Amino acid sequence: MTCANPARRYGQWRHLGLTLATTAAVVALAGCEDKNAFVAPPPPKVDVATPVQRPITRYVEATGNTAPIKSVDLVARVQGFLQSQDYQDGTFVKQGTQLFTIEPETYKLKLDQAQAAEAGAQASLKQAEADFRRQSDLVQRQAVSQATLDTSTSTRDNAQANLQQAQANTRIAEVNYGYTKVSAPFDGIVSAHMVSIGELVGVSSPTQLATIVAMDPIYVNFTVNEQDVLRIRAEAARRGLIAADLKQFPIEIGLQTETGYPHEGHLDYVAPTLNSSTGTLAVRGLVPNDKRVLLPGYFVRVRVPFTQEKDALLVPDTALGSDQGGRYLLVVNADNVVEQRKVQIGPVDNGLRVIEGGLKPDDRVVIAGLLRVIPGQKIDPQVTKMDQPQASR
C-alpha cells in the first residue's frame, strides 16, 4: 500500500480549515449586522395642558407715593416767651388739644384793658342817647334851639363810633390772647418741638414751633400713562359713566414688603389735562388709614380695576418663551408635533399670565420640559391640569 505525500495532505487540511474559518466569519458578521440595526427612540414625554379659562378683572397698575391730606406748621402768632410745651413729641392728638403756651399775662391785661374801655364807651353812649332824647323833646316844645339838638346828636353819634372802636379793640385783644395758646387744628401726629421753653418767639415774624400731620385718611398720588387713560375713558364711555363717576372707582394699595394689595380706597382727584412732557395724567386716591400703617412719603404699588372679562385665557409664566420676535408658547398640534406660537401677553392674575391673543381655549400648551422639546418635534403629550403655575423642570 502506497502512502500519500505528506505535503499534499497538509495542503488539503489547510484548505479545509480556511474554508471553515471563512464560513464562520461570514456567519458572525451576519449576526452582528442584525444586532446593530438602528431603532428610533420613542418621542419624549412632555406635560401639556389646555389654558385656564376664567373671569378676570383688568387693572391699571402704577406706582405712587403717599401724602398727608393735611399738614400744618404750628407757629407763634404773637410775641412772647414760650411758657410750656403741653404734649409729647411724636404723639397723636385730637383736634383742639393745647400744644404750646406763650406767656399769656401781658395779653390778658390788654384784654382787660380793652374790655374796660368798651364798658366806658357803652356808658358814654348811654348818656349821650339820654341827652339826645331830652334835647329832642325840648326842641319839640321849642324850649331849646335846634343847634343844641344838633350838638346832642353829634355827641351821640361820636359815642356810638367810640363804642364800635372799643368793641373792635376788645375783639383784637381776645384774638391775641387766644394766640397765646397754640392748639391742634385737627386730629394728627405732632412732630418734635422746634423751640425750647423760655425762648422768645414771634419777634419779627411767625416762629415755627412744630408740625402736625393728619394720618387718617391718607392721599396716594400716582400717574397714569396716556394709553391707559384712553382705555379707561373708552370703558367709561361704554358703561355710560361721567367724569364724576370715575372718582368713585376703587383703588388698591400695597407696600413693597406686602403681598398683594391689602389697602383699599377710592379715587379722589383726576387732573383735567395730561402732562405733555411726560404723557401722563396725575391721579390721586384716598385711602383709610385708621391703624396708621401708611406713612406719608411711602413708595407704594397701586392698581385700579376698570373692567372685567368673562373668559380670559391664562397660562403659567414658566410656559412662556421669548426671542427677538417677542413672547411665544409651545403648542402641540393634532399630530403631537410641537409648534411655536407667537402670543400677546397681559397682566398676571392670581399667579397665571393672561394671554391677550394668539391662543385658543383648546390648544395644548407645553407647560413643563420646554428645554427638552423643539418646534417640529413629535412628542408624547402627558395631559395635566393647569390650575397653578408649574415649576420649570
The pLDDT of residue 183 is above 60: yes
pLDDT classification of 2: cutoffs 50, 70, 90: very low
The pLDDT of residue 175 is above 90: yes
Pick the more confident residue, 130 or 330.
Answer: 330
The pLDDT of residue 347 is above 90: no
Angle at 145 between CA 141 and CA 151, to 5 degrees: 120
The C-alpha atoms of residue 131 and residue 137 are separated, in whole angstroms, by 10
Percent of the chain with pLDDT over 70: 88
Q: What is the CATH number of domain 59-68+216-308?
A: 2.40.30.170
**Domain 105-179 architecture:** Orthogonal Bundle (1.10)
The pLDDT of residue 34 is above 70: no
> Which pLDDT value is given to residue 203?
87
DSSP state for residue 273 in the 8-state scheme? S
The cell numbers describing 351, all together, are: 399667579
> Which pLDDT value is given to residue 32?
52
Pick the more confident residue, 56 or 112.
Answer: 112
Mean of pLDDT over the chain: 84
Domain ranges in the chain are 46-56+311-383, 59-68+216-308, 72-101+186-213, 105-179
The C-alpha atoms of residue 101 and residue 324 are separated, in whole angstroms, by 70
For domain 46-56+311-383, give its CATH number from 2.40.160.10, 3.40.50.1370, 1.10.101.10, 2.40.420.20: 2.40.420.20
196-231 pLDDT, tens digit per residue, is 999 999 888 889 999 999 999 999 999 999 888 888
Percent of the chain with pLDDT over 90: 41
**Domain 72-101+186-213 architecture:** Beta Barrel (2.40)
The pLDDT of residue 140 is above 80: no
Q: Which of 306, 304, 282, 286 is nearest to 294 (CA)?
A: 286
pLDDT classification of 1: cutoffs 50, 70, 90: very low
Torsion from C-alpha of 14, 15, 19, 22, nearest 10 degrees: 60
141-168 pLDDT, tens digit per residue, is 776 677 776 777 888 888 889 889 999 9
> Which pLDDT value is given to residue 58?
83
> Which pLDDT value is given to residue 297?
93
333-344 pLDDT, tens digit per residue, is 988 899 999 999
Is 20 exposed, middle or buried (CB count within 10 Å of its CB: 0-12, 13-18, 19+)? exposed
The C-alpha atoms of residue 67 and residue 262 are separated, in whole angstroms, by 18
DSSP state for residue 390 in the 8-state scheme? P
369-393 pLDDT, tens digit per residue, is 777 788 888 888 888 887 654 443 3
